[in-house]
Chains A and B, each alone.
Chain A
Amino acid sequence: GQNIDQPTEMTATEGAIVQINCTYQTSGFNGLFWYQQHAGEAPTFLSYNVLDGLEEKGRFSSFLSRSKGYSYLLLKELQMKDSASYLCAVRVINQTGANNLFFGTGTRLTVIP
């Protein structure tokens, strides 16, 4: 099976920087996604990493180290609207060559004034 770990909850201050970590143990790794999910809403895509390194997209950046089974999502200049759950998801190629996406349980981020 797939093992994906991320902290359950985090709190940060408006305007600050926060880093949400995700570690995974899997075979057939084929990419890592970060999704944002506001309460009562559907997950929405934030970022995708398949090679090692940092991907930057505005206030959000995502980092991947495949050798360490580790990723983080970095949120800069936090805004109140960034309060949400952040889901780490690992794409895996199975024995038949099909791709499956496995989600962590999510990190609930609360941004305080």
Chain B
Amino acid sequence: DAGVIQSPRHEVTEMGQEVTLRCKPISGHDYLFWYRQTMMRGLELLIYFNNNVPIDDSGMPEDRFSAKMPNASFSTLKIQPSEPRDSAVYFCASSRRTSVDTQYFGPGTRLTVL
């Protein structure tokens, strides 16, 4: 299995621009998670999906952030407009069942907003 795939691996953009991060979960996993990691706040859950449906988006910082999962093999996290404080590493993870199974993380996207 290829594991969780994320793209791009690095993104540098200017303040105000739209940023789209992409994720392909492990085949057969029903749950998909988006996390953000910074030195100050550690790893924070932004949103997660079960069978393509958003279950909990309480971690999404504000309306500038949105996430979609149009099918079982693809999800996007969009920031519009981006701000310098959004600079972080964004991880996507997937699991079969949250009650028992572990989460497998993708390599992350390092976002820098200038």
Asked whether, in the complex, the Cβ of A94 is within 8 Å of the Cβ of B107, the reply is no
Cα–Cα distance between A101 and B91 once the two chains are bound (Å): 14
Known contacts A43-B91, A98-B55, A98-B56; is A33 also within 8 Å of B43 by CB?
A: no
Instruction: Tell me, rounded to whole Å, the shortest Cβ–Cβ distance linking B37 to chain A.
Output: 9
Q: Chain A, interface size: which category?
A: 20 to 34
Instruction: Tell me, rounded to whole Å, the shortest Cβ–Cβ distance linking B9 to chain A.
Output: 11
Asked whether, in the complex, the Cβ of A99 is within 8 Å of the Cβ of B102, the reply is no
A93: nearest chain-B partner, CB-CB:
B99
Contact residues, A71-109 vs B (CB, 8 A) = 87, 89, 91, 94, 96, 98-106
| Main DSSP-derived SS at the B contact region | strand
B106 within 8 A of A: yes
Choose one: B45, B107, B108; the contact of A101 (CB below 8 Å). Answer: B45
Cα–Cα distance between A33 and B42 once the two chains are bound (Å): 15
Contact residues, A16-38 vs B (CB, 8 A) = 30, 33
Asked whether, in the complex, the Cβ of A105 is within 8 Å of the Cβ of B98, the reply is no
Asked whether, in the complex, the Cβ of A105 is within 8 Å of the Cβ of B45, the reply is no
Known contacts A42-B91, A87-B43, A103-B42; is A33 also within 8 Å of B107 by CB?
A: no
Cα–Cα distance between A23 and B24 once the two chains are bound (Å): 34
Q: Chain B, interface size: which category?
A: 20 to 34
A4: nearest chain-B partner, CB-CB:
B42
Cα–Cα distance between A102 and B41 once the two chains are bound (Å): 12
Asked whether, in the complex, the Cβ of A42 is within 8 Å of the Cβ of B107, the reply is yes
Asked whether, in the complex, the Cβ of B105 is within 8 Å of the Cβ of A43, the reply is yes
Cα–Cα distance between A89 and B103 once the two chains are bound (Å): 11
Asked whether, in the complex, the Cβ of B43 is within 8 Å of the Cβ of A45, the reply is no
Known contacts A42-B91, A45-B103; is A98 also within 8 Å of B98 by CB?
A: yes
B105: nearest chain-A partner, CB-CB:
A42
Asked whether, in the complex, the Cβ of B45 is within 8 Å of the Cβ of A104, the reply is no
Asked whether, in the complex, the Cβ of A48 is within 8 Å of the Cβ of B102, the reply is yes
Cα–Cα distance between A96 and B98 once the two chains are bound (Å): 14
Known contacts A91-B98, A99-B98; is A42 also within 8 Å of B43 by CB?
A: no
Interface on A for B, CB 8 Å cutoff? 30, 33, 41-45, 48, 87, 89, 91, 94, 96, 98-106
